[in-house]
């Protein structure tokens, strides 16, 4: 196993020197600029032109609709300068979107959403009082499915997949479907804003920190949004849209679809190549396959499979649970990462119970697996940091106002299970990012990673507040 481990460490860590990561960053910057001009899949302008000024205030209904979860919340905005918590979730209710819900046909899915909204509001006395007034409760929604957005509050559903039968309403306006479902239950609600998860993260963090210009979501997958000058995107990106006249439109929040970049930039190993070749969408999201939480465990599993077949791991007998593609989850990697016991006793117990090993693994086997985990996670952090450096460099390059705004740093809002919960991930990424900025010597401001937890719900609330303020 020693020879294989040495090879793994060499392959996964050879690109993690500062000069190598800076070279990867420059390659990504070239891809970013190219796709700002031409791609119909990446660098997509949203309908969010301005960032919050921190003065927006009030209570807003916020929805987060994902593939497995619906969350309904009341979000309070007290203002950036308030002595109270400037932005908070006052009440939230979470519902599982299981196979029964996915199987709801036609309008029934949207009626189910409206029912959950009504249940949450009925549990809040102030909201109940508000519902009796003539003025509707303003609502923002973070929608996690493909949508052709036509304005801040409207957009045509492009499909939902993942077993959803309501996809027969492909091409229908999301705003109309949600609003009409609420009206059928006599809910006095008005949909004011639709955002995606990465844009919501920018808005939620920018509300409390005016230095925010980017946000990244790193969990099962990866995506990022960035606030860029409208002039940096080709006119074709905006189609025939009519720009609003009530707000400034010099800048726009751009959904990068960051997962789709990096095919020409990042080197791969044979285990990466195997994962990609056997993926249902090979080459579709190359950066995501290399570093996101949905794939880190699979890369480790593939190395374990090879070690069992060729290096005597587990006496050459692969546990059945580890023969299943994607059977090794990132939470298992986190257990190894956090284990500082000399004999890795907690990891050993967890691993044996979770994967039904016929006999306890030896200390040497556990150390081998932990070192593989560390190599895979360190590469993930290195490639993530290169991508963040590339985005911040793009911002400095395209927006002259960044260097003139009087702030000494740029904040990047961070949400997602890997960046916020994987042991040491954000701290090590920040340290490496500081090294890259110092070594780059391009005059960049410091780039600071800040947690933006609950960003989808909070960002939907902020988006609704901004839409109200612009009217």
Let me know how long the chain is: 471
Contact indicator for 60, 458 with CB cutoff of 8 Å: no
Residue 91: strand pairing partners: 74
Residue appearing with tokens 């910057």: 29
Nearest of 246, 45, 67 to residue 159 by alpha carbon: 67
Average pLDDT of adjacent 10-residue blocks, the chain of 471 residues: 95 94 97 94 93 94 91 95 88 92 88 95 75 81 88 86 69 91 92 94 96 95 96 93 87 95 94 96 95 96 97 93 94 95 92 88 94 98 98 94 81 96 97 96 90 95 90 61
Helix, strand, or coil here: 46? coil
pLDDT at 442: 82
pLDDT at 13: 92
Beta strand pairing status for 154-157 and 222-229? unpaired
Nearest of 49, 403, 399 to residue 251 by alpha carbon: 49
Q: Output the DSSP codes for 284-345.
A: SSHHHHHHSHHHHHHHHHHHHHHHHHHS-GGGG---GGGGSTT-S-HHHHHHHHH---TT-H
> 350 — phi, psi (to 5°)?
-65, -45
Residue appearing with tokens 């290169």: 386
Distance CA 386, CA 391 (A): 9
Nearest of 244, 268, 201 to residue 51 by alpha carbon: 201
Contact indicator for 336, 370 with CB cutoff of 8 Å: yes
Q: Provide the whole-model pTM.
A: 0.93
Q: What's the pLDDT tens digit per position in 293-321?
A: 999 999 999 999 999 999 999 999 999 99
Distance CA 28, CA 390 (A): 6
Run of H or E including 44: strand 44-45
Contact indicator for 174, 192 with CB cutoff of 8 Å: no
Q: What's the pLDDT tens digit per position in 82-137?
A: 878 899 999 999 999 988 998 888 889 999 999 999 999 988 777 666 666 678 88
Distance CA 339, CA 28 (A): 34
Q: Within 45-107, where are the H helices? A: 99-102
């Amino acid at each position: 196993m020693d020879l294989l481990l040495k090879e793994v460490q060499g392959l996964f860590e050879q690109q993690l020197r500062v000069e190598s990561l800076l070279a990867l960053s420059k390659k990504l910057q070239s891809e970013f600029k190219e796709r700002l001009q031409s791609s119909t899949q990446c660098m997509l302008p949203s309908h969010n032109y301005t960032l919050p000024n921190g003065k927006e205030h009030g209570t807003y209904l916020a929805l987060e609709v994902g593939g497995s979860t619906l969350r309904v919340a009341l979000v309070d905005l007290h203002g950036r300068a308030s002595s109270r918590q400037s932005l908070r979730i006052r009440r939230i209710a979470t519902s599982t979107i299981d196979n029964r819900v996915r199987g709801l046909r036609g309008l029934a899915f949207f009626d189910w959403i409206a029912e959950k909204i009504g249940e949450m509001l009925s549990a809040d006395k102030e909201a109940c009082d508000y519902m009796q007034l003539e003025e509707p409760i303003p609502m923002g929604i973070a929608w996690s499915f493909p949508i052709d957005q036509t304005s801040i509050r409207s957009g045509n559903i492009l499909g939902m997949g993942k077993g959803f039968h309501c996809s027969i309403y492909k091409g229908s306006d999301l705003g109309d479907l949600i609003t009409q479902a609420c009206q059928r239950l006599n809910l006095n609600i008005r949909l004011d804003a639709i955002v995606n998860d990465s844009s919501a993260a920018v808005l939620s963090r920018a509300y409390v920190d005016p230095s925010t210009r980017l946000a990244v979501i790193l969990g099962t997958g990866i995506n990022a949004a960035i606030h860029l000058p409208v002039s940096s995107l080709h006119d074709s990106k905006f189609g025939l849209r009519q720009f609003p006249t009530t707000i400034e439109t010099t800048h726009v929040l751009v959904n990068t679809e960051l997962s789709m970049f990096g095919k020409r930039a990042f080197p791969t190993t044979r285990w990466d190549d195997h994962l990609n070749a056997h993926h249902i969408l090979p080459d579709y999201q190359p950066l995501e396959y290399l570093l996101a939480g949905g794939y880190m465990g699979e890369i480790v599993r593939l190395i374990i499979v090879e070690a069992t077949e060729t290096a005597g791991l587990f006496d050459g007998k692969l546990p059945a649970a580890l023969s299943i593609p994607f059977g090794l989850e990132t939470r298992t990697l986190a257990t190894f990462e956090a284990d500082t016991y000399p004999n890795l006793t907690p990891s050993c117990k967890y691993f044996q119970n979770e994967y039904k090993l016929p006999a306890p693994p030896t200390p040497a086997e556990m150390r081998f697996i932990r070192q593989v985990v560390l190599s895979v996670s360190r590469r993930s952090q290195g490639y993530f940091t290169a991508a963040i450096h590339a985005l911040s460099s793009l911002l400095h390059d395209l927006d002259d106002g960044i260097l003139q705004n009087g702030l000494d740093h740029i904040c990047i809002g961070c949400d997602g299970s890997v960046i916020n919960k994987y042991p040491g991930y954000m701290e090590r990424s920040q340290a490496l990012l500081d090294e890259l900025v110092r070594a780059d010597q391009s005059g960049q401001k410091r780039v600071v990673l800040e947690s933006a937890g609950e960003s989808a719900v909070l960002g939907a609330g902020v988006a609704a507040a901004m839409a109200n303020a612009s009217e």
